[in-house]
Amino acid sequence: MMSHPIQESQLLQTRRHFFGRTSTGIGVAALASLMNTGSAHGGPGPDALSQLSQIAPKAKRVIYLLQSGAPSQVDLFDYKPSLNKLDRTELPDSVRQGQRLTGMTAGQKNFTVVKSPWKFQQHGQSGAWLSELLPHMSNVVDDICIIRSMHTEAINHDPAITFFQSGNQQPGRPSIGAWLSYGLGSETQDLPSFVVLLSKNTFHQAQPLYDRLWGSGFLPSKYQGVKFRSQGDPVLYLNDPTGRSSADRRMMLDRLENLNRMHEAAIGDPEISSRIAQYEMAYRMQTSVPDLADTSDEPASTFDLYGEDAKQPGSHASNCLLARRLAERGVRFIQVFHRGWDHHSNVQKYLPTLAKETDQGSAALIQDLKQRGMLDETLVIWAGEFGRTVYSQGNPDTFGRDHHPRCFSIWMAGGGIKPGIRYGQTDDYCYNITENPVHVHDFHATLLHCLGIDHEKLTYRFQGRDYRLTDVHGNVVHNILT
């Protein structure tokens, strides 16, 4: 329900008077926390954090490589030798079980099974099967956990990626990174606690990305993700205007802060405190961001590891390297979006391109963090919003794969995750889960657990209700944890 404006004003006035009568400086301390001065923490406070969980955190931060468009588990991670015999046969109704189809294949008369055209091979001591499209990931299979039994509820892209990002298919909820920024605060005073990197798109039918996917929803706006650009200045308007010095900017911000404090005292809007904090963060980023983005101090061995693409700003490899540099500097949640996995036709042409764009950078990130001693405290995730069908969309000779929410594969590494394991099983058609299903809510609960948070206790009251990332669902997948 909507708050009554007069009642809201009275409540805020009472709160303001309370702070005004308090001689211990609570109001100043709260503002200092918001501005990350004196303490790097920017969340609900040490006392509140101690009540979130008694879990010992394994991870301090998250690097989430989100593959927008939904990669095909059939062709990358979930090896099915049974498809050699089932190839070009009709998918049985007993397997499909009346599943809802998208408008792109609902009118098809036939659902012809198409095996993966790429070879799979076992790698590492764990013997994990990987597609030949992922030669670099084959070098780190003993460091990752491949979950082959993910499933979700949405069958179309926007609600599906919104679900993964916020725990709800409808827009308006806080994103994962915003929840973590709120719950854990920041480890750095000079950079945001939540940073978003968008890789350059090379696919002509890539799904769009909206700022709300890293938004703060109903949380204070200071917790939303800050998007770094791949061209020009990483963040707009960080440079001082021509002819103006840093001292001029400092004087302007001090005066603006005084005005904002007066305005906050008059109306009590908490967003004004967020605005003050964001102005201060932007001022500190004028120094920290150029240093962060300048990779000229990296040795040649770094670019040998990440590949030549890492020298091209906006490439996936470059963003993976930048993610490592952000993690080193204390950023809590780093999300790299790579678009273009939505292959409804000609999978044989398009999938190798996307796999090549992401394979080396993703594997290098794991190796780089590991050799720096950071992997154990950094949770790395590689995931799309759902999977792809085993049957062909359109002509089986130039086949596409449609959306498939019923089973798909992701991988996780570091930060409390067991290395070198596969979790979950699917049937011979790679269509249904037969063992250890993992729902999106379970994924979120497990992610929070790795960071030492009980997902049932990280809540925020909005319009009379306590909300959380996992809503009223979710179970931690303990079998994949160290």
**Residue-level pLDDT at 51:** 62
**Residue-level pLDDT at 146:** 98
**Residue-level pLDDT at 43:** 56
Over residues 337-361, mean pLDDT: 97
- Specify the amino acid at residue 355: A
Q: How far is residue 303's CA from residue 190's CA, in Å, rounded to a whole number?
A: 26
In our burial notation (b when 16+ CB lie closer than 10 A, e otherwise), range 291-314 reads ebbebeebeeeebebbbebbeebb
pLDDT at 304 over 70: yes
CA angle 263, 264, 265 (to 5 degrees): 90
Q: How far is residue 238's CA from residue 278's CA, in Å, rounded to a whole number?
A: 12
Q: How far is residue 227's CA from residue 319's CA, in Å, rounded to a whole number?
A: 12
Lowest mean pLDDT among 180-194, 323-337, 355-369: 180-194
- Specify the amino acid at residue 468: R
Burial of 127 (C-beta count, 10 Å sphere; 0-12/13-18/19+): exposed
Highest mean pLDDT among 146-150, 180-184, 287-291: 146-150
Output the six-digit token pair for 132: 């030949």
Output the six-digit token pair for 16: 């303001």
Output the six-digit token pair for 215: 């938004």
- Specify the amino acid at residue 89: T
Which residue shows structure tokens 């948070």?
Answer: 453
Helix (H) or strand (E) holding 73, with range, is helix 73-76
**Residue-level pLDDT at 277:** 66
Chain centroid to CA 269: 30
Cβ pair 139, 413 in contact under 8 A? no
Q: Give the chain's count of helices (H) and strands (E).
A: 14, 17
CA angle 45, 48, 49 (to 5 degrees): 80
Q: How far is residue 411's CA from residue 206's CA, in Å, rounded to a whole number?
A: 22
Over residues 282-286, mean pLDDT: 64
Q: How far is residue 91's CA from residue 110's CA, in Å, rounded to a whole number?
A: 8
What CATH code is assigned to 41-238+310-480?
3.40.720
Highest mean pLDDT among 204-208, 284-288, 431-435: 431-435
In our burial notation (b when 16+ CB lie closer than 10 A, e otherwise), range 349-370 reads ebbbebbbbbbbbbbbbbbbbb
Helix (H, G, I), strand (E, B) or coil at 19: helix
Angle of the 5-21 helix axis to the 26-34 helix axis, nearest 10 = 110
Question: Nearest CA to 64 among 373, 333, 319, 328?
Answer: 333
Output the six-digit token pair for 306: 């990440």
Provide Rg for the chain, Cα atoms: 24
Torsion over CA: 273, 275, 280, 281 (sign): positive
Q: pLDDT tens, 232-278?
A: 667 665 666 676 677 776 777 767 767 777 777 777 676 777 666 66
**Residue-level pLDDT at 24:** 39
E strand residue ranges, 267-414: 333-339, 378-383, 387-388, 403-404, 408-413
Q: How far is residue 313's CA from residue 321's CA, in Å, rounded to a whole number?
A: 10
Query: What does the DSSP 8-state code read for residue 117?
Result: S
Over residues 147-156, mean pLDDT: 97
**What's the mean per-residue pLDDT of the chain?**
87
Question: Nearest CA to 411 among 348, 458, 352, 358?
Answer: 358
pLDDT at 402 over 70: yes
Over residues 159-174, mean pLDDT: 98
Over residues 391-402, mean pLDDT: 96
**Residue-level pLDDT at 4:** 47
Cβ pair 381, 62 in contact under 8 A? yes
Query: What does the DSSP 8-state code read for residue 98?
Result: T
